[in-house]
Amino acid sequence: MKTGMLKISPGFEDIMPEEYRELVDNGPYGKNYGIGDLGSFKELLEEHPLCAGCGLALSLRLTLASLPMPEETVIVGSTGCSALAFPQVALHNIHSLFGNQNAVATGVKRALKLRFPDKEKDVVVIAGDGATADIGLDMVMQSWLRRENITTIMLDNEAYANTGGQESGMSMPGTVLNMAPTGKKFPKLSLPEIAHTSGCDYVAAVSPAKPKQLAKAVRRAILVARKIGPTYVQIFSPCPTNYKLNPKETVSVIRQREKDGLYQTKEFISEEAQAFLNTVEEKK
């Protein structure tokens, strides 16, 4: 984004909506803000339409606030609850079809490399667990195997929430959900491990219960994707609506699962990525 690109034409200041004026005057572009600055700047996500207590909405807010360079970031989403929030995200973002997000991102990233050879453009995929681990797994893994310079972020609410709470590959075994009327018959997919063996240079499993850890993982994943290779971040984001949780308990549910040994934070870093991160993080 060129400096001064986002501005209001003279004479239109008073008729532009307040939230847009705030974005122009106090948005995060080129400011290098992080989650520690939340509350002091205009966030990228404007009045999301997701449910009360939605873990995914919280994860998305934290993720967007952790982007190292929002002014140069293009997001590719997919069908699902998060897609309902994306029209309100103040970044160029694409919704194509259900499951093809990593294939679309491949085209976007390579096109932007051609058009802006001297500029970093971060292409970040943000999609749900159904889109990432089920219908889109082929294209997600192929993008890793091809070593595309993109970051894949899964907002894992352990179900197809937008279509009414069906079992996904990321649901826990035994869980009774729509289309799993007698309980899920197979384990939760180990996508972080699959990502690691598929060549992702940085992999993390995090949750909004530990916002700083989430922010660090997102930032690391995007920096590594820029310079080294594909990266993956899985964010546990419980769904109060379909799992019949009290909306105010979303974060405590994550903590309980962690205590019970049913959710672990993870981080895999390739040697090359670690060496790169050392240089970047030392500078800071």
Partner 1 sequence: MIEQKIVDPDYLFFEAQRTSQYITGSEAVREAIKRANVDMAIAYPITPQSESMHLVGDIYAEGYVKEYLRGENEFAVMSSVAGASMAGVRVFTATGGPGTMRAFEVFPTWAGARLPVVCAFMTRGINSPLTIQPDTIEMAYLLETGILMLHAENAQDLHDMLLMAFMVAEKTDVHIPVGVFADGFFVTHTRDRVDTLPEDLKLPGYDPYTAPVPVMDMENVPVRQMRDPFVMKSNFMSYACHASWQQEIDAAAERSRKYLRQYLGSLIDVENEDSDILVITSGTAVSQSREAIITAREQGLDAGLVKIKTIRPFPGEEIRALASKAKKIIVPEFNRVGWLAKEIRNVIDEPRKVVGAPRVFGGMTMPPELILDEIRRIR
Residue from 26, 36, 52, 92 touching partner 1 (CB under 8 A): that is 92
Binding segment (CB under 8 A) for partner 1, from list 71-79, 194-202, 225-233, 273-281: 71-79
Residue from 66, 82, 93, 241 touching partner 1 (CB under 8 A): that is 93
Question: Min. distance of Cβ 275 from partner 1 in angstroms?
Answer: 28
Pairing assessment for the beta strands 151-156 and 73-76 based on DSSP bridges: unpaired
Residue from 22, 71, 120, 267 touching partner 1 (CB under 8 A): that is 71
| Non-local CB neighbours of 23 within 8 Å, separated by 6+ positions | 6, 42, 90
Distances (CA, A) of 60 to 86, 125, 255: 10, 12, 19
Q: Which long-range contacts (CB under 8 A, 24 or more apart) does 171-174 make?
A: 172/262
d(CA 66, CA 24): 19
Does 116 contact partner 1 by CB under 8 A? yes
In this complex, which beta carbon is closest to partner 1, that of residue 105 or of residue 180?
A: 105
Q: What are phi and psi of 61, to 5 degrees?
A: -60, -45
d(CA 217, CA 236): 13
Contact 147, 187 (CB under 8 A): no
Q: Please name the residue that has the structure tokens 């008073």.
A: 14
Question: Min. distance of Cβ 214 from partner 1 in angstroms?
Answer: 23
Question: Min. distance of Cβ 100 from partner 1 in angstroms?
Answer: 4
Does 97 contact partner 1 by CB under 8 A? yes
In this complex, which beta carbon is closest to partner 1, that of residue 121 or of residue 255?
A: 121
Residue from 16, 42, 46, 147 touching partner 1 (CB under 8 A): that is 46
Structure tokens at 132: 């990432």
| Total residues at interface with partner 1 (CB under 8 A) | 47
Q: Please name the residue that has the structure tokens 């971040």.
A: 233
Question: Min. distance of Cβ 121 from partner 1 in angstroms?
Answer: 7
The pattern of x and - marking residues 11 through 40 that bind partner 1 according to CB under 8 A reads ---------x--x-----x-----------
Residue from 96, 166, 175, 213 touching partner 1 (CB under 8 A): that is 96
The pattern of x and - marking residues 124 through 153 that bind partner 1 according to CB under 8 A reads --------------xx--x---x-------
Contact 74, 91 (CB under 8 A): yes
Binding segment (CB under 8 A) for partner 1, from list 68-76, 162-170, 243-251, 254-262: 68-76
- Choose among 63, 50, 52: nearest CA to 236: 63
Structure tokens at 58: 């919280």
Amino acid occupying residue 275:
A
Binding segment (CB under 8 A) for partner 1, from list 67-75, 169-177, 193-201, 216-224: 67-75
Q: What are phi and psi of 154, to 5 degrees?
A: -105, 125
Distances (CA, A) of 187 to 153, 158, 162, 174, 191: 21, 12, 22, 9, 11
Binding site for partner 1 (CB under 8 A): 1-2, 5-6, 20, 23, 29, 46, 71-74, 76, 83-84, 86-97, 100, 103-116, 121, 138-139, 142, 146
